[in-house]
């Protein structure tokens, strides 16, 4: 009977010890983990801030330049059918979208040789696409640099751990695991920023691609209306 009570007491003590350990582990906050990552977390956090800035800046810009009137091309075609070039130019200028700017350039060169008209509109389209993609390359750079910074922080921390072990000859799981998990935080943070930047880049690029295709269709429709204004 005494032996059974002793076993139960040991189990209870083990459970209490485990609960204390779990409670201590749960008390580790996100801020504590970030602080344990070391100085390498500063450039990683900076890259994360820059990535967020460029994403929202480009997202808002794309919302502005891709927001065109539904009846833009049809209204321009109607003005051309009535030979009212001046009203068509004013209508395109008031639109404010990338498509409206390109069509406005075309309307300003109506009457000139078709080759020249096509060249001017193509140049205007290239400029608008370049403006939409401006600063997006930084997101691609951050997507590659942030994980590498995280790995550098982890490798540097591992080198430091083994250097300390070589100096003290104290090889214990607690020392190795305790130091290693802290250094792995930088890898996790770098990968997180890299994934966010990668996703942000491709989300924006997809929006540009979709709008570019639509813009090409609208410009083609406009060019056809110039060649056949009676349609």
Q: Please give the Cα distance from 83 to 111 (Å, whole number).
A: 12
- SS3 of 24-86: the string is HHHCCCHHHHHHHCCCCHHHHHHHHHHHHHHHHHHHHHHHHHCCCCCCHHHHHHHHHHCCCHH
Mean per-residue pLDDT of the chain: 77
**Residue 202 pLDDT:** 94
Higher pLDDT, 7 or 165: 165
Q: Is the pLDDT of residue 46 over 90?
A: yes
Q: Mean pLDDT across the stretch 156-173?
A: 69
Ranges of each domain in the chain: 32-227
Closest by Cα among 216, 227, 202 to 103 = 216
Q: Please give the Cα distance from 59 to 75 (Å, whole number).
A: 28
Q: What is the share, in percent, of the chain residues with pLDDT greater than 70?
A: 72
Q: Mean pLDDT across the stretch 159-177?
A: 66
């Amino acid at each position: 009977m005494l032996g059974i009570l002793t076993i139960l007491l040991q189990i209870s003590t083990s459970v209490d010890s485990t609960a204390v350990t779990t409670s201590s582990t749960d008390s580790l906050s996100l801020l504590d983990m970030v602080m344990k990552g070391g100085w390498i977390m500063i450039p990683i956090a900076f890259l994360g801030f820059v990535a967020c800035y460029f994403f929202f800046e480009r997202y808002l810009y794309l919302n502005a330049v891709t927001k065109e009137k539904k009846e833009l091309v049809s209204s321009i075609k109607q003005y051309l059918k009535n030979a009212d070039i001046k009203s068509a130019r004013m209508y395109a200028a008031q639109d404010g979208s990338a498509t409206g700017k390109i069509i406005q350039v075309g309307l300003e060169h109506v009457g000139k040789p078709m080759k020249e008209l096509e060249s001017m509109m193509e140049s205007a389209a290239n400029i608008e696409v370049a403006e939409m993609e401006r600063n997006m390359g930084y997101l691609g750079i951050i997507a590659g640099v942030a994980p590498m910074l995280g790995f550098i922080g982890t490798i540097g921390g591992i080198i430091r751990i083994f250097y300390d072990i070589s100096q003290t000859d104290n090889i214990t799981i607690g020392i190795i695991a305790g130091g290693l998990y802290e250094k792995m935080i930088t890898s996790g943070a770098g990968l997180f920023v890299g994934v966010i930047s990668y996703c942000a880049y491709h989300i924006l690029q997809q929006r540009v691609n979709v709008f570019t295709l639509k813009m090409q269709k609208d410009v083609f429709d406009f060019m056809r209306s110039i060649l056949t204004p009676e349609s």
